[in-house]
Amino acid sequence: MTLATPVLNPVPPTDAAPVLSVRDLRISFPSEAGTVEAVRGVSFDLLPGRTLGIVGESGSGKSATAMGIMGLLPPSAALRGQVLLGGRDLIGLGDQALSEVRGNSVGMVFQDPLSALTPIFSVGRLLSDALRVHQDLTKRAAWEQAVELLDLVGIPDPRNRATSFPHEFSGGMRQRVVIAMAIANKPSVLVADEPTTALDVTVQAQILDVLRLAQEETGAGLVLITHDLGVVAGHADDVAVMYAGRFVEHAGVEELFRRPTMPYTARLLAAVPTVDGGARRPLVPIGGEPPALVGLPDGCPFASRCAVALDACRSDEPELRHVTGHGHVACLRATEIADGSLDPAGDAAPVDQQATADRTEAGEVVLRVEDLVKTFPVTKGAFLKRRTGTLHAVNRVSFELRAGETLGLVGESGSGKTTTLMEILRLRRPEGGRIEIAGTDVGTVGSGARVRELRQDVQIVMQDPLGALDPRMTVFHLLAEPLRAIGRDRASIRSRVRELLALVGLDDSVSDRFPAALSGGQRQRVGIARALATEPKLLALDEPLSALDVSVQAGVINLLARLKRELGLAYLVVAHDLAVVRYISDRIAVMYLGHIIETGETETLFSDPKHPYTRALLSAIPMPDPLRERTRERVVLEGEQPNAARLPTGCVFVDRCPLYRLADDSVRRRCRTERPVPTPVAGQPGHQYACHGV
Partner 1 sequence: MVRYVTRKAVGWLLMIVVATNATYFLASWFLDPRSNFKELRPVRSEAQIDRALAPYNLDPRVPLVHRWWDWLTSVTLHFDWGKSPTGVSVNGEVGYRSLISAELVVMATILSVVIGVALGVYTAARQYGWADRVSQAMSIALFNVPTSVAALAVVFVAIWLNQHAGLHFLYVAGENSPGVEGLFPTIGDRLLHLILPTLTLTLMGYVGYHLTQRSLLLDTINADFVRTAQATGLTRSQAIRRHGLRAALIPTAASVAFSVPAIFTGAVITETVFGWNGMGRYFIQTISKNDVHGTVATAAFAAALTAIGAILADIATVFLDPRVRVN
Least Cβ distance, residue 181 to partner 1 (angstroms): 6
In whole angstroms, give the CA distance from residue 344 to residue 74. 38
By beta-carbon proximity to partner 1, the closer residue of 162 and 303 is 162
Cross-strand partners of 394: 374
Contact present, 659 and 643 (Cβ < 8 Å)? no
Q: Looking at 122, 261, 265, 688, which residue binds partner 1 (CB under 8 A)?
A: 122
DSSP 684: S
By beta-carbon proximity to partner 1, the closer residue of 120 and 279 is 120
Percentage helix, strand, coil for the chain under 3-state DSSP, each rounded to 5: 35, 20, 40
By beta-carbon proximity to partner 1, the closer residue of 117 and 657 is 117
Residue 107 touches partner 1, criterion: CB under 8 A: yes
Contact present, 99 and 105 (Cβ < 8 Å)? no
Least Cβ distance, residue 386 to partner 1 (angstroms): 12
By beta-carbon proximity to partner 1, the closer residue of 160 and 315 is 160
Residue 197 touches partner 1, criterion: CB under 8 A: no
Least Cβ distance, residue 91 to partner 1 (angstroms): 17
Residue 545: closest CA among 582, 514, 510, 516: 582
Burial of 418 (0-12, 13-18, 19+ CB in 10 A): buried
Q: Which stretch binds partner 1 (CB under 8 A): 91-99, 201-209, 232-240, 645-653?
A: 91-99
CA dihedral over 385, 389, 394, 396, signed as positive or negative: positive
Q: Within 634-680, where are the H helices?
A: 658-662, 665-673
End-to-end CA distance of the chain: 14
Q: Looking at 120, 349, 449, 682, which residue binds partner 1 (CB under 8 A)?
A: 120
Cross-strand partners of 199: none
Least Cβ distance, residue 691 to partner 1 (angstroms): 40
Least Cβ distance, residue 84 to partner 1 (angstroms): 19
Q: What are phi and psi of 249, to 5 degrees?
A: -155, 135
The radius of gyration computed from the CA coordinates of the chain, to the nearest angstrom, equals 26
Annotate each residue in 148-187 with x if it binds partner 1 (CB under 8 A) or - if it does not, as one string: -----------------x-x----------x--xx-xx--
In whole angstroms, give the CA distance from residue 252 to residue 238. 4
Least Cβ distance, residue 144 to partner 1 (angstroms): 18
By beta-carbon proximity to partner 1, the closer residue of 125 and 530 is 125
Residue 223 touches partner 1, criterion: CB under 8 A: no
Lateral strand order in the sheet of 20-31: 34-46, 20-31, 78-85, 88-89
Residue 99 touches partner 1, criterion: CB under 8 A: yes
**Which residues have CB under 8 Å from 30's CB, separation 6+?**
36, 76
By beta-carbon proximity to partner 1, the closer residue of 14 and 76 is 76
Annotate each residue in 19-58 with x if it binds partner 1 (CB under 8 A) or - if it does not, as one string: ----------------------------------------
* Helix, strand or coil, per DSSP, at residue 182: helix
Q: Looking at 70, 150, 409, 526, which residue binds partner 1 (CB under 8 A)?
A: 70
Helices 520-532 and 550-567 sit at what angle, rounded to 10 degrees? 20
By beta-carbon proximity to partner 1, the closer residue of 79 and 597 is 79
Least Cβ distance, residue 228 to partner 1 (angstroms): 20
Restricted to residues 123-152, the positions that interact with partner 1 (CB under 8 A) are 129-130, 133-134
By beta-carbon proximity to partner 1, the closer residue of 129 and 436 is 129
Residue 348 touches partner 1, criterion: CB under 8 A: no
Residue 119 touches partner 1, criterion: CB under 8 A: yes
In whole angstroms, give the CA distance from residue 105 to residue 355. 52
By beta-carbon proximity to partner 1, the closer residue of 192 and 458 is 192
Contact present, 545 and 556 (Cβ < 8 Å)? yes
Q: Which stretch binds partner 1 (CB under 8 A): 118-126, 294-302, 353-361, 388-396?
A: 118-126
Q: Looking at 103, 221, 234, 285, which residue binds partner 1 (CB under 8 A)?
A: 103
Residue 437 touches partner 1, criterion: CB under 8 A: no
Q: Within 568-651, where are the H helices?
A: 578-584, 602-607, 612-620, 626-631
Q: Looking at 77, 80, 84, 112, which residue binds partner 1 (CB under 8 A)?
A: 112
Q: Which stretch binds partner 1 (CB under 8 A): 99-107, 332-340, 403-411, 658-666?
A: 99-107
C-alpha 462, offset from chain centre: 15
Restricted to residues 468-507, the positions that interact with partner 1 (CB under 8 A) are none
Q: Looking at 100, 358, 364, 441, which residue binds partner 1 (CB under 8 A)?
A: 100
By beta-carbon proximity to partner 1, the closer residue of 82 and 99 is 99
If one counts every other C-beta atom within 10 angstroms of the C-beta of residue 19, the result is: 22
Looking only at the bridges linking them, the beta strands covering 587-592 and 679-680 are: unpaired
By beta-carbon proximity to partner 1, the closer residue of 86 and 325 is 86
Residue 87 touches partner 1, criterion: CB under 8 A: no
By beta-carbon proximity to partner 1, the closer residue of 111 and 522 is 111
By beta-carbon proximity to partner 1, the closer residue of 134 and 687 is 134
Q: What are phi and psi of 241, to 5 degrees?
A: -100, 125
Least Cβ distance, residue 81 to partner 1 (angstroms): 21
Looking only at the bridges linking them, the beta strands covering 327-329 and 386-402 are: unpaired
Residue 102 touches partner 1, criterion: CB under 8 A: yes
Least Cβ distance, residue 219 to partner 1 (angstroms): 20
The residue count for binding partner 1 (CB under 8 A) is 33
Q: Looking at 25, 42, 52, 110, which residue binds partner 1 (CB under 8 A)?
A: 110
In whole angstroms, give the CA distance from residue 546 to residue 390. 30
Is residue 22 within a helix (H) or strand (E), and if so which, with residue range? strand 20-31
Question: Over 421-470, what HEC string results?
Answer: HHHHHHCCCCCEEEEEECCEEHHHCCCHHHHHHHHHHEEEECCCHHHHCC
By beta-carbon proximity to partner 1, the closer residue of 118 and 354 is 118
In whole angstroms, give the CA distance from residue 612 to residue 362. 30
Burial of 28 (0-12, 13-18, 19+ CB in 10 A): buried
Q: Looking at 35, 118, 379, 495, which residue binds partner 1 (CB under 8 A)?
A: 118
CA dihedral over 425, 426, 427, 428, signed as positive or negative: negative
By beta-carbon proximity to partner 1, the closer residue of 115 and 673 is 115
- By CB under 8 A, name the binding residues for partner 1: 70, 72, 95-96, 99-104, 107-108, 110, 112, 115-122, 129-130, 133-134, 165, 167, 178, 181-182, 184-185
